[in-house]
Amino acid sequence: MDLKFKKSSEDTRKIKSEIALGNNPLNIDSYIDYAEDKIKDTTNHDYAHIVSSGNAGIFIGLSYINGDVLIPDQGGWNGFKQISRFLNKPFETVKTNLGLIDIDELNNTLSNLDKSKVNGLILTSFAAYTAEQNIKEISEICHENDVILIEDVSGSIGDSKLANGKYSDIIVGSTGSPKILNVEDGGFITTNIKEVFDNNRILLKSFKSNEITAGGIISELKNASSNLNKYIDACNYLKNNIDNVVHADKRGINVFIKNDDPKHFSWNLRQELVLDSHGMVTKCPNYNRLKEKGVALEIKNLDISQLSKSNLDEIIEIVKKYQ
Ligand SMILES: Cc1ncc(COP(=O)(O)O)c(C=O)c1O
């Protein structure tokens, strides 16, 4: 089965190339200012910066934390650990139920923290890209314990419950490929806490974005919600028609299938699910997905044009053949 890897929309590619040529395709004074306004409208925060990558946003967000950094024990993003280490911030893992934060465990862990420091919990909106965190409840517990909640919304920007500044204190995201805002590079960070940026001028300068990426972000934001929902709907359909799926009842943008022999299962799937020169099969255990035997089918890596029912039915048949 030949599938196409996700591309920026044609509009986005045109806008980026016009800006690169020195034109002003959207008739805007500053693409960076406008992109920052649009991003903060989307996340319901007062302050926003677009930056050079998703990891740059994480660097800035974690720099604000001067106490402990808490991360999920699986289903997060490797950068959370690597950047905490680089910044010399002690980090601790929070127990999850296959990526989903265990609310009681969270309560226990947070209540034992040294409250004289600024502590932070950083997580992705979708655990392992496959199941949405209960962000409202997590936010309540963080706030009861004076812990800053940092949400990585690379996979969820455009949603109304996830990626919402009503719940998360700091929101970060990647606009690289193949993310929901698929601009090929860049990222963003938003918050209501002015000090996150005031204390971090040097990082903001070091990780600055550019007008071309800003133009791409403005363009991609227009379709973020509808694109996101198409990926979620496609995954729902797959989850309902494939056996041994983890978190089958939860919203997500990939599908995790348990399997005792992930080496062969993933090899077989890769022979059949050919995605240009890219991949859509992640062999697990893997911290960024789940520390379980199985594979993650990265539906989020497919171009939006590839999510037809006939394609999804073919994917289901291929999976069944090797399960
Ligand atoms: C959830 C998540 N956060 C952050 C990043 C890092 O983004 P970037 O490559 O833009 O630094 C990635 C990259 O794949 C990611 O999946």
Ligand 1 lined by 152 (C-beta under 6 Å): yes
Q: Which residue owns the Cα nearest ligand 1 atom 4?
A: 54
Choose one of 51, 60, 150, 154 to mutate for the ligand 1 pocket test, by most ligand atoms within 8 angstroms of C-beta.
Answer: 154
CA distance 177 to 185: 7
CA distance 212 to 291: 38
Q: Give pLDDT tens digits for 162-189.
A: 999 999 999 999 999 999 999 999 999 9
Residue 317 Cα to ligand 1 midpoint, Å, equals 31
H-assigned helices in 97-200:
103-111, 135-144, 195-198
CA distance 208 to 31: 13
User: Three-state SS for 115?
Assistant: coil
Q: Give pLDDT tens digits for 206-237.
A: 999 999 999 999 999 999 999 999 999 999 99
Per-residue burial over 127-138, b = 16 or more CB atoms within 10 Å of its CB, e = otherwise = bbbbbbbebeeb
Ligand 1 lined by 77 (C-beta under 6 Å): yes
| Ligand 1, atom nearest to 186 Cα | 10
Domains of the chain in sequence order: 10-221 (3.40.640.10), 224-322 (3.90.1150)
Model pLDDT, residue 24: 98
Model pLDDT, residue 276: 84
Ligand 1 lined by 219 (C-beta under 6 Å): no
Q: Give pLDDT tens digits for 57-66.
A: 999 999 999 9
Indicate the average pLDDT of the chain.
97
Query: What are the φ/ψ torsions at residue 111 (nearest 5 degrees)?
Result: -70, -15
Q: Are 153 and 43 in contact (CB under 8 A)?
A: yes
Model pLDDT, residue 277: 80
